[in-house]
Amino acid sequence: MSKSLLLKTILVLILVLAVVGGYHAFYFIERLDKEITERFDGKKWQLPTIVYARPLELYPTMNLSPELFEKELQLADYRKENPVTAPGGYWRDASHFTLTTRDFHFPGGVERSTKLQIIFNGNRIDSLRSPETGKELSFIRLDPAKIGSFHPQIHEDRLVLRSPEIPHLLRQGLMAIEDKDFNSHLGVSPMAIARALTANITAGKTVQGGSTLTQQLVKNLFLDPERTLSRKLTEAIMAILLELRYSKDEILTAYVNEIFLGQDGARAIHGFALASQFYFHMALEDISVGQMATLIGMVKGPSAYDPRRHPDNCRNRRDLVLRLLWQDNLLSQSEYKSALSESIYDIDQQRNGLNRFPAYLDLVRMQLLSEYQKEDLQGNGFKILTNLNPQIQWQIEKSLSDTAATLSNSGKNKELQGAVVITGRENGEVLGLAGGTNPLASGFNRAIDANRPIGSLVKPAVFLTALERGYTLASPLSDTAIHIEDGDSGWSPQNYDKKEHGRTPLYLALAKSYNLATVRLGMDLELENVISTLKELGCTVPLRPYPSLLLGSIDMSPLQVSQLYQTLASGGFHLPLRSIQSVITPDNKLLTRYGLKVEQRFSPPVIQLLTHGLERVVSEGTGSSYPFSSNHSYAGKTGTSDGLRDSWFAGFSSAYLAVVWMGRDDNKPTSLTGASGALRVWGNIMERLDSDAGAPATSLSQDIVWARISTDNHHENSARQYRSTLLPFIVGTEPNQNTATRQSTATGINMKVIEDGARNIFKTLNDLFQ
């Protein structure tokens, strides 16, 4: 081949390669450009949904101890400092508190930051005052504690800032430390590369990088951490494309929100706004010069310069940043010296509320997923305001954990577990929930997922069915042996004490939880009617008309049991249980409000009769073993499944409804009945929550009258013999309407109150002589 032909061939090949290479390069660049614009013009980040507890509302005379108040402040991530310099700070001097609340957008509008002085007198708020004006305040609502978040799969978290919200020092400081040529380069800075190369050769190691802020943003937003020449080339091309498409301000704003600045367990801390809260418990605009320099310095290596784990490294890096800022005239001499004297990290280590209550978050997630797609909850940055009351939640956790630990000393009670649900009696708000004895454990949530036989907790539904059909609390029942044929086999239930008690009034059969009387009553009423009552109460599990249903052969979770008893506690009105108050969008617009939904299912006078029967359970029946204070009155029911595998108590006071379950996850027997296990937890919780509570039935219907009956023959007893008791009746159903002992609730004298007082006196005397 001649030289000229060879030269032509080579030129043709070069031309072909150039065309092919250019073609592929063009489409490669076009693909990168499309990826950049789709990300930048669309939603740059998947923002987690943040879940909040109920806001703490304060007013003079409120019952609240200084210790609990401080615990609530710490849960809400308030920092302890003296003096209080910015929102989110507080200081305590014995019973005096000084604090500055933070702005918060509630569904009804924004609650602005407020400076407060709060003085306690014992366990009560004595006064609320503005320290600026000295004016007494009648009410204040604090910003609520963050108790959890629902993250995208990448588990990144950030608070997104708009350009005007970026502090001037941060903007100028990033350029001074990370990219001096930011305002003049086109994504890649040859001068920065040359400076870094010179510094690294002089030091004999890598001490400085040549990447611009734009390249760092590209690396974080679009690329993996692989360190190859091709990836570096891609990074440079994308940086140039980004600069051609978007302004410097847009790029810097994205950088401030994207940069990785630390790790909180599985949660990655991105952006300066969240890092400021994470490390210093302050909003970015409120942190000091020294703290701002600390964050800027951490860009180089968040782990190596973590102020909590490596304070010496962090201090050296911060001081270097401060010196460079001063040399660039971004700080005055006095600002520089003052910042150098700051402690590197003087924030008390305290556990805030974030993901502190995993069991309650399970309930929030479950209720949200009934209305929202999972993707919406994990990426749109919603704010969820819940009904969680931290003070109630702490009491639940302590009582369950302590009681389970005490009971576990018995051989059969090893590995004892439990669950608790507490709601507001009048509104169905779920105020606290424990899914196990370890409050921090996630996974199997027994309050929601443990479906266990409910035992005698079903009996109020049987007796309610009877009361609706004309029975009274004095109606005689037969507590005698019964055999029910069921196909080829039969069923012969027994009482817990293996005895028969003969003729007994309805209220006593309920109070003593007599199985034989309950089964006979339920069969007389017909099973389908009892099932109808259970459904009206709120039961959603499948129910089969088997006689064993009358003794609780129904598997339900504590949450499902709570829904049943909520209808009883609220006077016959069905209230769906609610863990959520409202859902708010990232721009603080109300998306959904979860208001009160009420549907009357039962007659209030009939429910009042049943409530009295449930009060008798606690005062003289299967729940009487717990030493309740004499000035409290509660209504509830014990429940125990076959083989002592499940211990239950469900009941209510004037303010709260609580359901407690105890048992073993492997379904092995324990030594616990409902009274010896669950009731101990229930009583411990309710006595502490309800220190000011009275009787659950605080106001009786005008359709109710009281009459005294003999406990021997269950008829009217006008002589008020020793063996007699007062019972409520619906007007017209009392044994003898003409007797002088009948007391209407409309009269000035309530014999029930007098009798209860006398009973309490005798009980107190009896306790003294025991």
Both tokens of residue 360? 């309650």
DSSP-derived secondary structure for 192-244: HHHHHHHHHHHHTS-------HHHHHHHHHT--S---HHHHHHHHHHHHHHHH
Whole-number Å distance between alpha carbons of 104 and 141: 10
d(CA 56, CA 62): 11
Instruction: Mention every residue, 6+ apart, whose C-beta is less than 8 A from residue 326.
Output: 332, 333, 335, 336
Q: Give me the amino acid identity at 598.
A: V
Helices (H) and strands (E) in the chain, counts: 23, 33
Q: Residue 435 in contact with residue 446, Cβ under 8 Å?
A: yes
Preceding omega of 48 cis (within 30 degrees of 0): no
The residues annotated as belonging to the active site are 178, 456
d(Cα 185, Cα 502) in Å, to the nearest integer? Answer: 97
Could you list the beta-strand ranges (E) of 641-770. Answer: 646-652, 656-664, 704-710, 724-730, 743-744
Whole-angstrom CA distances from 99 to 73, 81, 89, 114, 122 are: 10, 9, 6, 8, 19
Q: Residue 248 belongs to what H/E stretch?
A: helix 248-258
Would strands 704-710 and 724-730 be described as parallel, antiparallel, or unpaired? antiparallel
Q: Tokens at residue 142, please?
A: 């604090």
Report d(CA 396, CA 420) in Å as an integer. 7
Count other Cβ atoms within 10 Å, centred on residue 610.
23
What is the length of the chain?
A: 770
What DSSP line would sit under 480-537, residue for residue? Answer: ----EEETTEEE----TTS---EEEEHHHHHHTT-HHHHHHHHHHH-HHHHHHHHHHH
Report residue 452 as tokens: 């266990």
Paired residues of 640 in beta bridges: 647
Beta strand pairing status for 89-93 and 79-80?
A: parallel
DSSP state of 452: E
Task: DSSP letter for 411, please.
Answer: G
What whole-number distance in Å separates Cα of residue 103 and Cα of residue 113? 5
SS3 725: strand
Helix (H, G, I), strand (E, B) or coil at 40: helix
SS3 89: strand
Tell me the C-alpha to C-alpha distance, in Å, between residue 38 and each of 25, 112, 550: 20, 37, 62
**Which amino acid type is present at position 279?**
Y
